[in-house]
A and B are shown apart, each in its own frame.
Chain A
Amino acid sequence: MRAIFKIALGIIAALGGFLDIGDLVFNTQAGALFRYDLLWAVVLGTAGIAVYAEMCGRVAAVTQRPVFDVIRMRLGFGMGLVGLIASTLVNLLTVAAELGGLAIILELLFDATFSMFVVVAAIGLVVVVALLPFGGIERLFGYCGLMMLVFIATALHQGPDWGEVAHGFVPSFSGSTLYLYFVVGVFAAALMPYEVHFYSSGAIEEGWTESSLRENRLNAIVGYSLGGILACALVVSGFLFHPVGVDPSDLGTVALPAQGAFGETGLLLALGGMMFCIGGAAVDSSFSASYNLAQFLGWEWGRYRGPRKAPRFTASWLVFLFLAMLIVLSGINPVEITEYSVVFSVVALPLTYLPILMIAGDRSFMGKHANGRVSTLLGWAYFALIVVLAVAAVPLLLATNGGGG
């Protein structure tokens, strides 16, 4: 009974922590520009992260190897270093985007200067991480992120044409370059690698072993699938802006439908939910950067070790947070940073996905827990898809002028 409760809590935390600023920006814009036509891409991306995360969690539980341990072992020092550098740069951009997003939300709630909120947000994150253990941090952001459920309520309140919504789950190709760019963007925003790298290291932080495999499967598959419903709700609520041609590239605009439907309560739930989602993502992406560095170089790592036993890991985390803060304070629009972080992360994705796929299917490492026929098929199918998207991403970014059309 306790086990079921624990698993349920894990699923809830995964649901609440599923979205980040990338999803908020890309999914709402997708709804505004293309109505429900990109829902299939949301589902595809959600299934992708479920597949990837389940594999990473299984590898970590069975072999006690997090992602960058596998990468260094499988790709060697040279190629592994390429993967590390690419991941670190992308993670840095992501942390900056999330930090900027946090500052925007704080500004909307408390109205003072943006720059001040950037610093406040960074300090706030340090305080939370310093005070809480790993599990506590994840639960705090995960449970509070459940406020995002107001977006499902908003979507239902808008009374969409469910027939048309259903139609959106069937892949279609409008053929426009902008549509293709958003296919990549929506998919990439759902399948952000930092989230999976964090999940893999988190498995070891939480002491998962072979007995945790069912928890891993349920967390990854059920938790992330439910999160996908939230992501779809963003698309549907974005559609409110479609007939009026609003471009919801403003975070504040994302919350507007909730305000329209449920007044001040709806607005506060939306903004609060966004704040915890984005805050959780800032922690996850900054931790991910430090995990990757420490694991690749063989340092001691982990929140569970504490700053005294893992000084280099902790110091590198603070440095990454500080660098991200500088990036935001430099004046670049956080929403623009978000677009770059999402697009470049899908470009770097094949390099970190392939080694995991190979180890997860390798019986000499995984024993009886190696990929079965379904996992192998899904794993390789997604790899092919990821490679196609990785190649198409930057050309589409340039062709659409950053999604500007």
Chain B
Amino acid sequence: MRSGEPIFIAHRLLDEQILDSEGRRCGRVDDIELRGTPPRITALLVGVALYPRRLPRRLRGLARRLAGPERWGANAMRVPWEEVDEVDTAVHLRGKAEELGLGNGDHPENWMVKRLPWN
């Protein structure tokens, strides 16, 4: 990859919808992990805990209080770049959402989802 590309791709990837191998919507790209020189995308980061980073400094404190601390595996998920199959109008993953810990809020086993009246 040319030196300009990873940044451009990262910019293009940010905030995109993520779809798993079955076409299920399981979150958006809330942040991107770049490592090394030249920087390479190593992972996509997804989760509510990442929102405070995306807000202007003044609102960060309040947002952090609302979103809670970053608990990796719970409210912040790391999706290794290798899991990405294709990027067109959304980011398509190789595997299923639950294998990667994504889309938990819509998962039928989720404690809140189980309590909904139609379940």
Direct contact of A and B (CB under 8 A): yes
- CB-nearest residue of chain B to A69: B17
Give A308 to B110 CA distance when docked, in angstroms: 12
Interface residues of A in 285-329 (CB under 8 A from B): 297-301, 307-312, 314-315
Contact partners of B108 in chain A: CB under 8 A: 308, 311
CB pair A65 B51 closer than 8 Å: no
Residue of A nearest to B16 (CB): A73
In contact, B51 and A77 (Cβ under 8 angstroms): yes
The reply to whether A298 and B113 contact each other, CB–CB distance below 8 Å, is no
A308 to B106, CA, bound (A): 8
Q: Indicate whether A78 sits within 8 Å of B56 (C-beta atoms), given known contacts A64-B89, A300-B103, A315-B116.
A: yes
- Asked if A58 is an interface residue, CB under 8 A from chain B, the answer is no
Contact B18 A298 (CB under 8 A): yes
Q: Are B105 and A73 in contact (CB under 8 A)?
A: no
A72 beta carbon closer than 8 Å to chain B = yes
Q: Give A contacts to B, CB under 8 Å.
A: 63-65, 69, 72-73, 76-78, 80-81, 297-301, 307-312, 314-315
Residues of B within 8 A of A312 (CB): 105-106, 113
When distances are taken between beta carbons in the complex, the residues of chain B under 8 Å from A76 are 14-15, 54
Interface bits B49-76 vs A (CB < 8 Å: 1, else 0): 0010011100000000000000000000
Residue of A nearest to B11 (CB): A76
What's the Cα separation between A385 and B77 when bound, in Å?
A: 43
Report B's interface with A, CB cutoff 8 A: 14-18, 24-28, 30, 46, 51, 54-56, 89-90, 103, 105-106, 108, 110, 113, 116, 118-119
Using A76-B15, A78-B56, A308-B119 as known contacts, say yes or no to A298 and B106 having CB atoms under 8 A apart: no
Give min CB distance, A277 to chain B, whole Å: 29
| A301→B116 contact, CB < 8 A | no
Q: Is the Cβ of B116 less than 8 Å from the Cβ of A77?
A: no
C-alpha spacing A310/B113, complex, angstroms: 10
Residue of chain A at shortest CB distance from B113 = A311
Question: Nearest-CB distance from A79 to chain B (Å)?
Answer: 10
> Is there an interface contact between B25 and A78, defined as CB atoms closer than 8 Å?
no
Residues of A within 8 A of B16 (CB): 73
- What are 5 A-B interface contacts by the 8 Å CB criterion? A72-B15, A297-B27, A298-B28, A311-B113, A314-B118
Do the beta carbons of A77 and B55 come within 8 Å of each other? yes
**Across the A-B interface, the 8 shortest Cβ-Cβ residue pairs:** A298-B28, A77-B54, A298-B27, A300-B25, A311-B113, A300-B106, A307-B118, A72-B15
Are B116 and A311 in contact, with the CB atoms below 8 A? yes
A311 to B116, CA, bound (A): 8
Q: Does B28 lie within 8 Å of A72, measured CB to CB?
A: yes
For the complex, give the distance between the alpha carbons of A64 and B90 in Å: 9
**A299→B25 contact, CB < 8 A:** yes
CB of A52, distance to nearest CB on chain B (Å): 21
Given A298-B17, A300-B106, A311-B106, output 13 extra A-B contacts at Cβ < 8 Å: A64-B90, A73-B16, A77-B30, A77-B54, A299-B27, A300-B24, A300-B25, A300-B26, A300-B103, A307-B116, A311-B116, A314-B116, A315-B116
